[in-house]
Amino acid sequence: MAKKATTSQAIKLPSPITKGTVSLEETLRKRRSKRNFKDKNLTLEQISQLLWAAQGVTDSRGYRTAPSAGALYPLEVYIVKSDGVFHYEPLDHKLTTVVSEDRRKNLALAALGQSFIAEAPLDIIIAAVYGRTKIRYGGRTERYVHMEAGHAAQNIHLEAVALGLGSVPIGAFWDDRVAKALDLPAEHKPLYIIPVGYSK
């Protein structure tokens, strides 16, 4: 039986570091898709940094690390690890618990049985609420949302390199099964799975 979380279960993330020791050029040069991960959990500081890179707020106006058409921010970011499924809330830089059990195997099965998804200590899922962008951009909504997902994903991959981690972009999955595995709200449509961890 799944352990449903209550809305009160929140984890405040450590403040992100905004000046690192690895150059952007070095992260670009070193970025490669990694599918073999060590059995070693990530720290809360590392998770904080990866999520901030994806959708973190960068100034008092609410602008984020990834550009968004009309600053409408349709993306929703989730993580899956051994102790549950969590939703990232950028404005408060915190996680809220969705389910308090390991859903990585469920997620791997929903992604055509790609076993390394279950083996990674952290899976980041980018989902989208298309309606936020459609209000202003109508027929160009899909294009703009998918561009934004690409921006956020690249930020994650480069941040992973800066943290000494490996990652891989995954687009092969059954959308409905991923949504079910993570207990996503109906309007949160999964676009991207990014396993992250220490490379073997």
pLDDT band at 160 (very low <50, low <70, confident <90, very high): very high
Q: Per residue in 96-150, pLDDT tens?
A: 999 999 999 999 999 999 999 999 999 999 999 999 999 999 999 999 999 999 9
133 Rama class: left (phi>0) / alpha (psi -120 to 50) / beta: alpha
88 within some domain: yes
Average pLDDT over residues 146-159: 98
Residue 139 lies in domain: 21-197
Q: What whole-number distance in Å separates Cα of residue 74 and Cα of residue 187?
A: 11
Query: Tell me, what's the pLDDT at 196?
Result: 98
pLDDT band at 4 (very low <50, low <70, confident <90, very high): low
3 within some domain: no
Query: Tell me, what's the pLDDT at 9?
Result: 84
Q: Per residue in 14-38, pLDDT tens?
A: 999 999 999 999 999 999 999 999 9
Q: What order do you get walking across the sheet with 75-81 strand by strand?
A: 10-12, 94-99, 84-89, 75-81, 122-128, 189-197, 166-167
Q: Which residues contact 53 (CB under 8 A, 6 or more apart)?
A: 16, 65, 155, 156, 158, 159
What is the tally of structural domains in the chain? 1
155 within some domain: yes
42 within some domain: yes
16 within some domain: no
CATH number at residue 113: 3.40.109.10
pLDDT band at 5 (very low <50, low <70, confident <90, very high): low
